[in-house]
């Protein structure tokens, strides 16, 4: 019987045993950091949808929030396939940080055009981080870890599309908030 390379594992996918090379010592941390970011991003996106449910921004923000939720699920599935455990401390810290951010005053109580602009800008930053994640995985570990089935090209294209749509929303929100 042939042994596995040091640190390698066997993953059963669709009834086929696949030998997975050893995970980089940094990959679990990197993926958990991005998972924590997705917790923040999804919370922010859902809040933006709620605050804008009766505005011209509602439809676009709802679609983007649904895509962010799908991307988070995809990252969780990817981590499961790579047998990388989720770090609950990072997720909790991200969740708490996202809620503390809500306390930032913006010269008036409640939601304002400035709140909308800042939320969209933060969503834009989060999507840029997610795009960096998908590109880094594609460049560094996709072939080695058998990640071609994850359709990283599609995930990259969706993140690029999200960036473009958020930029259009951001510019409209900037006009609403800053031209008065």
Question: What domains does the chain contain, in order, with CATH numbers?
Answer: 25-178 (1.20.1260.10)
Task: Calculate ∠ Cα 100-106-107, nearest 5°.
Answer: 135
Contacts of 35 (CB under 8 A, 6+ apart): 72, 75, 76, 79, 86, 87, 90, 91
Q: What is the mean pLDDT of the chain?
A: 84
Helix (H) or strand (E) holding 161: helix 152-178
Whether the per-residue pLDDT at 139 is higher than 60: the answer is yes
Virtual torsion, Cα 107, 113, 118, 123, nearest 10 deg? 150
- Strands 9-13 and 16-20: what pairing? antiparallel
**Among the listed ranges 62-66, 95-99, 155-159, which one has the minimum average pLDDT value?**
95-99
CA distance 164 to 65: 15
Report the 10 Å Cβ neighbour count for 1.
2
Q: Are 8 and 19 in contact (CB under 8 A)?
A: yes
The predicted pLDDT at position 9 comes to: 56
- Closest among 52, 166, 158, 154 to 111, alpha carbons compared: 52
The pTM of the full predicted model, rounded to 2 decimals, is 0.80
pLDDT per position as a tens digit, 85-120: 987 766 666 566 665 555 555 555 678 999 999 999
Q: Is the pLDDT of residue 18 over 70?
A: no
């Amino acid at each position: 019987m042939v042994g596995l390379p040091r640190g390698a594992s066997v993953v059963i996918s669709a009834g086929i045993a696949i030998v997975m090379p050893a995970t980089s010592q940094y990959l679990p941390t990197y993926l958990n950091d991005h998972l924590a970011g997705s917790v923040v991003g999804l919370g922010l996106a859902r809040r933006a949808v709620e605050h804008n449910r009766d505005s011209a921004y509602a439809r676009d923000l709802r679609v983007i929030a649904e895509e962010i939720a799908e991307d988070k699920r995809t990252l969780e599935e990817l981590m499961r396939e790579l047998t990388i455990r989720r770090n609950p401390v990072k997720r909790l810290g991200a969740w708490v940080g996202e809620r503390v951010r809500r306390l930032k005053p913006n010269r008036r109580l409640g939601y304002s055009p400035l709140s909308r602009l800042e939320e969209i800008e933060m969503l834009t930053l989060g999507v840029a981080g997610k795009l960096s994640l998908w590109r880094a995985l594609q460049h560094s570990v996709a072939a080695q870890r058998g990640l071609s089935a994850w359709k990283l090209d599609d995930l990259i294209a969706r993140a690029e599309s999200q960036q473009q749509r958020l930029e259009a929303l951001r510019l409209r929100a900037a006009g609403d908030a800053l031209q008065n």
